Structure formats: structure tokens, C-alpha cells
Amino acid sequence: MSGFAGRVVLVTGAAGALGQAATAYFAANGARLALLDVVAIEGPHFTRTCDLTDAAQCRAVVAEVVAALGPVDVLVNIAGGFAMGEAVHETTPETWDFLMGLNAHSVLNMARAVVPVMLETGRGRIVNIGAGAGQHGAARMGAYSASKSVVIRLTEAMAGELKTRGINVNCVLPSIIDTPRNRADMPAADYSTWVTPAALARVIGFLASDDAAPIHGAALPVSGLV
């Protein structure tokens, strides 16, 4: 398969389970990959470490990607994470800032770095990773839910701003992803009901493909059997 042959696909959070699955999907479909994470990644692709909460680092690394591979055609914002928190009235500045930085500022910083490149070429696809929890609040998940809600709202706003400029922006909303970390944290769960990283990667691949050209601002639930 070569649906992304020659296209430059930039994946953040590429060292994680979903990042690895997305990398495998796009590589199998002919993409030229740029992989970012806070930890070093080994392999045949262009890789860099980057703190995505640092806007200057994001701008610098995207400039490196463009210089090495060419303009970014697809941005997949996977970097993020989950943590239970305190009750809303007990939420610490550290909890709030950590989750907003990890889940929301990372998307904003990459958008500010990559969208100008896409506007120059007049084309692009952006796929953000939100969460089902971003659609509603839950006890001790106020900061997390808020941070993922920001991802959905940014996706919708960007789609409205960019859809007439040749750029599609959409997001997926996973429930629980079947990762080693989640299995360790929830050993009594029924893993068969969870979404596998490979299945989620295929959904991301669809939204990044030419077949998704008419889709703008979607927040697509990918919840498996949960």
C-alpha cells in the first residue's frame, strides 16, 4: 500500500504505544516520517526529542523537519496523557498546568509551528487526539476532561479557519486504549472491549487521507466496546 507515498507525516508522542502504531501504519503506506517525543526514538525515520509545551522548541524542530524532508503534509498530534486529579475545588496549580500543558498546549504549539507551513503549500491534514472524557466531566477528572475538551474546541476552531485554505482538521476521541500501561493499571478489566492502537491508527490514517477531504472539524468517537 502506498496511499501516503512521498508525503511528509509528522507524529508527536511517537514513542508511545499509539505513536508506534501510527508510525507503522504510515510507514507501511509509503509516508516519509518525522517522529517527535520527549524521549529519544531509534529507527530509520527522522527523529527528534522535543518538549511540546515549549513553543520555541516546536518552531525549531518543525523548521528542521521542513529542511530535512520538505513541507509537512500531515500532522498527527498524539502526544498527551491521562492522570486522575483532585476534586475541582482542591485542584492544585501543578495538576492543572501539567494536564493543560500535556494535552492542550502541545496541540496549540504544534499548530502554531506547522499551520504556516501548510498555508504556504495550500494543503494539509491535521489529526488531533482528544478523548471521550473531553465530552463530559467526571469526578476527580475535571482538569483532564477540561484539557481534552480544549483539544476538541481547538479542532473545531481550526477547521473553521482553515477548511477553505486546503487544510482539514479533525480529531478522534478514544475511550480506553489497549496499552501495556493501561493493562497494568487495570488488571481486572476486560481488555477485549478496549480499542487497540493498530485499530485507532487506521482511523487516524483515514482522517489523514484523501478520502477524508470533505470532513472538517469532526470529533470522532473511537470507543470499541466500552
Nearest in space to 50 (alpha carbons), one of 23, 59, 116, 42: 59
Q: For the whole prediction, is pTM greater than 0.95?
A: yes
How many Å apart are CA 91 and CA 44, to the nearest integer? 42
Q: Domain count for the chain, please give it.
A: 1
Q: What is the mean pLDDT of each run of 10 residues along the chain (226 residues)?
A: 88 98 98 98 97 98 98 98 95 97 98 98 98 96 98 98 98 96 95 96 98 98 92
Q: Could you tell me if residue 151 is inside a domain? A: yes
Q: Could you tell me if residue 205 is inside a domain? A: yes
Q: Could you tell me if residue 3 is inside a domain? A: no
What is residue 1's predicted lDDT score, i.e. its pLDDT? 40
Residue 182, domain extent: 8-222
Considering the chain, what percentage of its residues have pLDDT values greater than 70? Answer: 99
The CATH number of whichever domain residue 201 belongs to comes to: 3.40.50.720
159 Cβ neighbours under 8 A, 6+ residues apart: 168, 169, 170, 216, 217
HSE-CB of 210 using CA atoms within 13 angstroms: 5
How many Å apart are CA 85 and CA 92, to the nearest integer? 9
Q: Could you tell me if residue 105 is inside a domain? A: yes
Q: Are 27 and 43 in contact (CB under 8 A)?
A: no
Q: Could you tell me if residue 45 is inside a domain? A: yes
Q: Could you tell me if residue 110 is inside a domain? A: yes
Q: What is the pLDDT of residues 84-114, one digit of tens each?
A: 999 999 999 999 999 999 999 999 999 999 9
Q: DSSP letter for 167, please.
A: E
Q: Could you tell me if residue 2 is inside a domain? A: no
> Annotated catalytic sites, by residue?
144
What is residue 226's predicted lDDT score, i.e. its pLDDT? 84
Query: What are the distances in angstroms from CA 220 to CA 133, 159, 216, 223?
Result: 13, 14, 11, 9
- Cα 139 to the center of its chain, rounded Å: 25
